Amino acid sequence: MSYNQFLKSKNLWPDASTEKWKYFDFKGFESSSEKVEYSHFKPEIKFIDFDKSTFDGEIKISTQEILVSKSLKERAEISILDNFKSSNKTSKLDFVMTDLSSRDFTVQIKIKAQKELKISLTYLNESHQKSLNPTVYLGAIDSDITVFEIDKSSDETLLSQHSKINLQNSKLNLISIYGSSLTSDSKIINSEINLENKSVYNHALFLIKNKFIRYQQSVVINSEKAEANLAAFNISDGDSFSELRTEVQHLKPKGISRQLYKTIVSDSSKNVFNGRVFIDALAQKTDSSQLCQGLILSPKAEINAKPELEIYADDVKASHGAAIGQLGKDQIFYLVSRGINPETAYQMLAHAFAGEVVSKVESLALRKKCEILIEQSSGAIFEKLAESFGS
Amino acid sequence: MLEVKDLKVRIEDKDVLKGLNIKVNAGEVHAIMGPNGSGKSTFSKVLAGHPDYKVVSGKIDYEVNLNMINLLELEAYQRALEGVFIAYQYPTEIPGVSNLEFLKATFNAVCKHQGVQELSESEFESLVLAKAKLVDLNPTFLYRSLNEGFSGGEKKRNEILQMALLSPKLCILDETDSGLDIDSLRIVSEGVNALRNEDRAIVLITHYQRLLDYIEPDFVHVFKDGRIVKTGDKSLALELEKKGYDWL
């Protein structure tokens, strides 16, 4: 698939008529007459120097401006495409049903022959009841890149984000954090990844205490021996809704895909996981696994997990599983029988539950960053978890 | 150090221990042998305080600070803090908890209980690396998730590493020799022997005499149907090897 074909390809955004919306929580959207203003502005890149950056380059996308560190100019080609098409007001229902990013702007990042390039990508929406709708296109050839992507939007804001990632003989470690200490009102993220020429895509996704989030990811394994490793951790409380939808398409032989999804729900929060793996008749010797594990902390919390395998090749390894329940009693006993008090043991295991996803982050510094963010925002839930199992 | 009196234990609706009596003094090594299902592993789980095992009657006297207390009155973690250590037959895998982090948590818990100052991270790491040499455990295993993906031999070495680190008073080794190749058996046994001293008691639960070639016991007990049916010296193990258990 050429760059232009990929950029123009139809995304997988579902419409209301399809089964893909099953379990989706429209509460608060259908009845809302409230209009959402989305913040179209004339996109322009400002190149600046970021203070004390630990990255090779930083990009900040806000409702006001797009800031890019000067240092990144030398290693990547960055430009803006304006997609603006229609009015700047929409209903809340439209917000979740439509990919608003297609109506706004695209930040295009092209990288060629760069090794160990570390980029920070921040979304920053500080405008009350306004939505930020960027599309980010990342194209990489013969490169090895790490991208740390974080949403730092304020409360009562909306994010409709679309990512298109195209890798050619490249490796991308993408760490995405939505939520953390700040909570946007609603987030709809749609991510499409195309892997060519033995590319490797490692994704660690953290959805932390979002009020409403739907993260949809589609990975196409479009060359022999290309590899996608997807790990995600979600933690929810209150009456929030979170949904992760993944689709991995194996179109060529000997591709590898690994999926690990872990979720903790408390209070009356609701979580949905839909994971589909499609293996084309041409994709012989595919090696694919998918595992979803959930912890439910209160009687009103809910997890809906729906793993799906669709296989048309006859020589493949493919596994999937879903386990929803409580922390392992044997694990707790093992820790306790070594002198660790039960409360500490429960907390260690709760951290370990998230830690399995954190451990997928290759960079030690970024792993620490993820650990701190999870601890800061989820510590109270982990304590609740300890209490619930201790009782 | 340990005196078990007429201990009766049930798991679910099944009586497993049916009046067990055994006395273990500091400095002694006891071997417990017996057919499958005779209650050997149950005995170790009861000592550890596993919640699935219900003590119907009996008493376990255990010496703490020169006083005898009833071990059954302590929570599982309190027993460990008082120096009871079980090296498990099947050590549990805990993904996401690093081995080093776990070792530090358990070591600090014991230090705190004993009123000893905890070690700094670097001091602790040096201590663990030194102890790991004792059981020939590759240091890379310290940085992996606890027991996850470890081979049988590596898991058993990791158990003995914990034993070396925590310096318990009473060590119960539950079929530590099962699943070990000859070299691993020798290394693990050497590790255990290095930890033998006059203040520490060791109880070896095993099916095979070969472990006792490496770790020489003072007493050998035979479990059958939930109680001890015969006690002797190390020659009893050789006799069992030849005759089996039917003659008892």
Tens digit of each residue's pLDDT (9 = 90 or more) over A137-185 = 999 999 999 999 999 887 777 788 889 999 999 999 999 999 854 455 6
Contact across the interface for B105 and A342, Cβ inside 8 Å: no
- Find the residue in B nearest to A329 (Cα): B51
Structure-token pair, residue B202 = 């060791």
- Name the most confidently modeled range: A7-11, A46-50, B59-63, B180-184: B59-63
CB-based contact A296:A235 (threshold 8 Å): no
β-pair partners for A279: A250, A311
Between strands B201-205 and B219-224, the pairing is unpaired
What secondary structure does DSSP assign to A71-124, as a single string? HHHTT-EEEEEE---S-SEEEHHHHHHS-GGGGSEEEEEEEES-SSEEEEEEEE
Query: B86 to chain A: which residues are within 8 Å by CB?
Result: 337
Residues in chain A, total: 391
In angstroms, the CA A250 to CA A337 distance is 46
For residue A260, give how far its alpha carbon lies from the nearest alpha carbon of chain B (Å).
Answer: 13
- Average pLDDT on A341-367 reads 87
Is the pLDDT assigned to residue A7 strictly greater than 50? no
Q: What is the DSSP secondary structure assignment for residue A50, as one 8-state letter?
A: P
Contacts across the A-B interface (CB distance below 8 Å): 81
Nearest CB to B96; choose among A330, A344, A352: A352
What is the reported pTM? 0.72
Which tens digit of pLDDT belongs to each residue from A241-252? 899 999 999 999
The 10s digit of each residue's pLDDT in A256-292 is 999 999 999 988 999 999 999 999 999 999 999 999 9
Q: Read off the DSSP letter of residue A344.
A: H
Mutation target vs B (from A291, A293, A335, A338; most B CBs, 10 A cutoff): A338
* Cβ contact, residue pair B96, A354, below 8 Å: yes
With an 8 Å Cβ cutoff, the interface of chain A facing chain B consists of: 328-331, 333-342, 344-345, 348-349, 351-356, 359
Q: Which residues of B touch A356 (CB under 8 A)?
A: 95-96, 145
Please report, as a single letter, which amino acid is at residue A352: A
What per-residue confidence (pLDDT) applies to A154?
Answer: 79
Rounded CA gap, B247 and B111, in Å?
A: 48
How many CA atoms, within 13 angstroms, populate the side-chain half-sphere of residue B137? 32
C-alpha distances out from residue B189 to A337, B68, B128, Å: 22, 30, 19
Minimum-distance CB partner of A340 among B48, B92, B105: B105
Give the DSSP per-residue string, chain B: -EEEEEEEEEETTEEEEEEEEEEE-TT-EEEEE--TTSSHHHHHHHHHT-TTEEEEEEEEEEEETTEEEEGGGS-HHHHHHTTEEEE-SSPPPEEEEEHHHHHHHHHHHHHHHHTPPPPPHHHHHHHHHHHHHHTT--GGGGGSEETTT--HHHHHHHHHHHHHHH--SEEEEESTTTT--HHHHHHHHHHHHHT--TT-EEEEE-S-THHHHHS--SEEEEEETTEEEEEE-HHHHHHHHHH-STT-
- ipTM score: 0.95
Cα–Cα distance, B26 to B150 (Å, whole number) = 33
Nearest to A356 among B96, B109, B110 (CB): B96
**Alpha-carbon distance values, B48 to A15, A99, A197, B75, B87 (Å):** 57, 57, 55, 9, 10
- CA distance to partner chain B, nearest, from residue A341 (Å): 6
CB-CB neighbors (< 8 A) of A335 in chain B: 94, 97, 102, 105-106
| Arithmetic mean of pLDDT, A320-336 | 87
The three-class DSSP label of residue A181 is: coil
The residues facing B58 across adjacent strands are none
**β-pairing verdict for B145-146 and B94-98:** antiparallel
pLDDT at A12: 42
Band the pLDDT of A323: cuts 50, 70, 90: confident
Residues of B in contact with A329 (CB under 8 A): 51
- Whole-angstrom distance, CA of residue A122 vs CA of residue B110: 44
Mutation pick from B97, B114, B150, B167 vs chain A, by most beta carbons of A within 10 Å, is B97
Angle at A218 between CA A214 and CA A219, to 5 degrees: 145
What is the predicted pLDDT for the residue at A39? 56
Q: Which of A295, A327, A332, A335 is most worth mutating to test chain B (most B CB atoms within 10 A of its CB)?
A: A335
Residues A114-133 have a mean pLDDT of 86
Q: Per-residue pLDDT averaged across A304-326, rounded?
A: 90
For residues B105 and B92, give the distance between their C-alpha atoms in angstroms, rounded to a whole number: 16
Report which listed range, A355-359, A383-387, B80-84, is most confident.
B80-84
Note the pLDDT tens digit of each residue in B214-246.
Answer: 999 999 999 999 999 999 999 998 888 888 888
A365-382 residue pLDDT tens: 999 888 888 877 777 776
Phi, psi of B194 (to 5 degrees): -65, -20
Which of A30-34, A139-143, A225-229 comes out lowest in average pLDDT? A30-34
Bridge-based pairing of strands A302-311 and A270-279 is: parallel
Pick the more confident residue, A385 or A308.
A308
B182 has a pLDDT exceeding 70: yes
Element (H, E) at A18: none
Q: pLDDT at residue A100 above 70? A: no
Closest CA to B205 of B235, B237, B163, B175: B175
Distances (CA, A) of B21 to B2, B6, B60, B228: 10, 5, 9, 7
CB contact under 8 A, A337 and B81: no
- A201 CB-contact burial (10 Å; exposed 0-12 / middle 13-18 / buried 19+): buried
| Interchain CB distance below 8 Å, A333 and B162 | no
